Copies of this chain bind each other. A is one copy, B any other.
Amino acid sequence: MSIVRTNIPRADRAAVDRLANSGVATVHEAQGRTGLLAPSMRPIYAGARIAGTAVTVSVPPCDNWMIHVAVEQCRDGDVLVVAPTSYSDAGYFGELLGTTLQARGVRGLVIDAGVRDVRDLTAMAFPVWSKVISAQGTVKATLGSVNVPVICAGALVHPGDVIVADDDGVCVVPHTHAAEVAEAAAVREAKEAKARERLKAGELGLDIYAMREKLASLGLEYQDGQAEA
């Protein structure tokens, strides 16, 4: 029952890089408000914005052995995604694992558990999104699996899917949809750029998006606040 899938198909690199530029909120909207991991997943430092192809790891609670196994399956451009089979806030990952991943070109870690050595990881600019920061050590006693589908922070991640992560959180894009979602995100950004200019100039969303009539038809009423004051 414990397997390591090697040589997995991965999403197209160009699409991955376009998704990184768009960021989590835009990508999440562009694929129909799906794929978002729970907001409990927070970055250990502000400012990182990445996308990469998922190498997934299903780990037992409080046991990080399989992360060492997973490292070998990681390539340049990947993001490691770690999901315990039951709740754990132990510190599965630290600076030594960050060093080995960074040496392989891995872009970051997403883990629905704890991370430690965050000062060192920050200094190395190796970004991590985790549920908690915890120095609690783990053991190396029980097997798990690498590159199987995992549920990470409430979202289903298949190996090779695109992981987009920034200060807003983490989003997964199925690897077969990467190009399509990247395109939809770009369209959305262009539209937002236009709205931004109008808003900066003082126009209102009520007018830009033509909301007034619909609001009135639903019964929204305006009252003068000084009259009653």
Contacts and interface: CB of A to CB of B under 8 A. Distances in A.
B226 A143 contact: no
Interface residue tally on A, bucketed by range: 35 or more
A195 interface: yes
B225 A39 contact: no
A136 to B, nearest CB: 5
Contact of A119 (B6, B47, B99): B47
A28 interface: yes
A28 B135 contact: yes
A94 to B, nearest CB: 6
B119 A168 contact: yes
Given A6-B223, A86-B89, A156-B156, A62 B62 contact: yes
A102 to B, nearest CB: 8
A111 to B, nearest CB: 14
Interface string A7-45: 111000000000000011100110011101011001001
Interface string A58-85: 0011100100110110000000000001
20 contacts: A3-B220, A3-B222, A4-B220, A6-B222, A6-B225, A25-B137, A28-B137, A33-B137, A42-B133, A47-B119, A49-B119, A62-B88, A65-B215, A72-B206, A96-B192, A99-B196, A100-B204, A100-B205, A133-B169, A151-B154
Interface of A: 1-9, 23-25, 28-29, 32-34, 36, 38-39, 42, 45-47, 49, 60-62, 65, 68-69, 71-72, 85-91, 94-97, 99-100, 103-104, 114, 116-119, 122, 132-137, 139-143, 147, 149, 151, 154-156, 159, 166-169, 171, 192, 195-196, 199-202, 204-206, 209, 211, 215, 218-226, 229
